Structure formats: C-alpha cells, structure tokens
Amino acid sequence: MNLNKELKETSLTQFTPKKTIKLNISNQTTYKETTQLLHRLYLQSLRRPASLIISIIQPLLWLLIFGALFQNAPIYLFEEYKIQYREFLNPGIIIFTGFNSAINAGLPVVFDREFGFLNRILVSPISNKNAIVYSSVIHTWLIAIIQILTIISITLFQKYNNNLDLIELLINIGISTIIISNISIISICNALIVPGHIEFIAFTNLLINLPTLFTSTALAPLSFMPTWLQTICCINPLTYAIEIIRNYNLNKSLLLDTTIINTTWLTINTQQAMTILIMVNIISLIVIKNIIKYKYD
C-alpha cells in the first residue's frame, strides 16, 4: 500500500509545473486588444442606429419637458442667485445623461455572456482580460459625450448670448468623464454578476436609474429637501459632479476652496468633492479587476 501510494505521489509530481508561468503583458498588447474590442462595439452601434438616435433624443426630452414644467419655479427664493429653472436644470441633465448612458454599459457584456461570445473572447489569445472593461468604458464614454455636446449645443441655441465658453465645456466634459467611467465600471460589475439581461435591466432601471436621479440635486436644490433626503443626496456621487458644474456656471470661476454643498451638518468644497469622485472611481476599478481575476482567470 505504501509503495503504491509513493508511486502515485511521484507520478503526480511529474506533472506539476516547477516554475510559475507569468504572462508578459505589455502596454502595446493591451492597447491593440482594447482597440479591437472597441472596434467590435462600434460596429454593433453602427448596425443599430435607432438606439443611438434614441439615446441622443432622450436627454433632450428631459431638458424640454422639465424645463417647461418648472420654468416658473422660484429657485431664487431659496438660492442666492436669481436664475431660471432651465439654467438650474442644465448641469443636472448633463450629468444624468452621462449617468444614463454609463448605467447601460454592461448590457453588451450581458448579451455576450448569454450568446457565448464572452467565452470566445476569453479563450482567444487575449493577454489582458481588463481590455474588456477598457473597451466598454471608452465606447460608453464616446456615445455619452456626443449626447452631452448635443445638449450643450441646444442650450447655447436657447440663450441670447451664443458664445461658447471653452473652460465651461472642458469642465463639463472632465467631470462627466469621471462619472461615466465610474458608473460604467459599476455597470460592468453588475453584468458579470447577474444571471441574465432581464435581471440586469430590472436592477438598473428600477433600483438604480430613477432613484439615483431623484436622490441628487439634478432637479432640485438641497434647500428644497428634508433632512433625510439631504443625507442621501450627500452620499450620491452625482450630487458632487452636478454641484461642481453648477457652481462654475453661476460664478464663472472654479476655485478649489469654494463651498458647493452647505448644510447644517456637512460642508464640502470643490477640492473635497473632486477627491471623493476620484476615490470612488479608483475603488470601482479595483473591484472590477478583482472580479475578473476571480471569475475568469
């Protein structure tokens, strides 16, 4: 018995690798893999132009309907600035447009899982599986930026002064980029966890999409809200992004020590808000990398 046991152990040890195999992943290889996956996603978007057109029309409907519905809302009674509701609404619509596009970034991943294309990608000679995340985020970012530029063009057309503020445009794109990348990563995490697209759509549309909109300062200032809702708004990252853009639109300056959120129990300035957004983004990226390493490596 002992002899047979020793023979089995020695035969098994012959097949175990003596050295750990390490993949040599270069930045150039990751770039090529990301561009190829990105090209595949853009082909899917071009073959479905109706979804792209609808995604551009949707934020315009939000801007038109809400702007007309609350155009006589007395925002100036509760804020130090006397502005129309349409001007108050624009930053919220810009950020929510990026959020709405990013929350669906994991939908192609879900369909790839269901139809078996994700397995084909994973068994292909791809050295860095994080390229799947990078390509999805970049694809979502470009579509969302097209939507945001469309909204900015419409708002410029509505104003009497049609001069484009380049700094305002860069701030809108920069802050929106942080939100888009963060929410896209969270959406891809959700796509890798849920069983199928039905659960994904139900989770994103019912439990994340509209509640996140109404628990931010996109549609109303903090002074309109009760204390419990102010607490939830201050946890929501969209609030910080909206208030950074709104503060620049009102003051035409972006100072790091400017207070953008001021309640009886919390005060946040621009620097702290940007730090929170960047930290949440980094945490999301670390989580998605660990999920991919755990499930697909």
Q: Which of the four pLDDT bands, split at 50, 70 and 90, describes residue 18?
A: low
Burial, 30: exposed, middle or buried (Cβ in 10 Å; 0-12, 13-18, 19+)? middle
| Mean pLDDT, residues 71-78 taken together | 62
Please check whether residue 25 lies inside any domain of the structure.
Answer: no
Please check whether residue 15 lies inside any domain of the structure.
Answer: no
Please check whether residue 220 lies inside any domain of the structure.
Answer: yes
Residue 290 contacts by C-beta under 8 Å, 6 or more apart in sequence?
A: none
97 CA to centre of own chain: 10
| Mean pLDDT, residues 241-254 taken together | 83
Predicted confidence at residue 104, as pLDDT, reads: 83
Domain holding 288, by residue range, is: 51-296
Helical packing angle, 49-69 and 27-47, nearest 10°: 80
Percent helix, strand, coil in the chain (nearest 5)? 75, 0, 25
| Mean pLDDT, residues 75-102 taken together | 76
pTM to 2 decimals?
Answer: 0.79
Q: How many domains does the chain have?
A: 1
Please check whether residue 20 lies inside any domain of the structure.
Answer: no
Higher pLDDT, 205 or 219: 219
Please check whether residue 3 lies inside any domain of the structure.
Answer: no
Does residue 237 surpass a pLDDT of 80?
A: yes
Predicted confidence at residue 2, as pLDDT, reads: 53
| Mean pLDDT, residues 257-273 taken together | 82
Residue 226: how many other CB atoms lie within 10 Å: 7
Please check whether residue 219 lies inside any domain of the structure.
Answer: yes
Predicted confidence at residue 163, as pLDDT, reads: 63
Q: What angle do CA 55, 57, 60 make, to 5 degrees?
A: 120
Please check whether residue 264 lies inside any domain of the structure.
Answer: yes
Q: Alpha-carbon dihedral of residues 253, 223, 267, 168, nearest 10 degrees?
A: -20
| Mean pLDDT, residues 112-127 taken together | 76
Please check whether residue 291 lies inside any domain of the structure.
Answer: yes
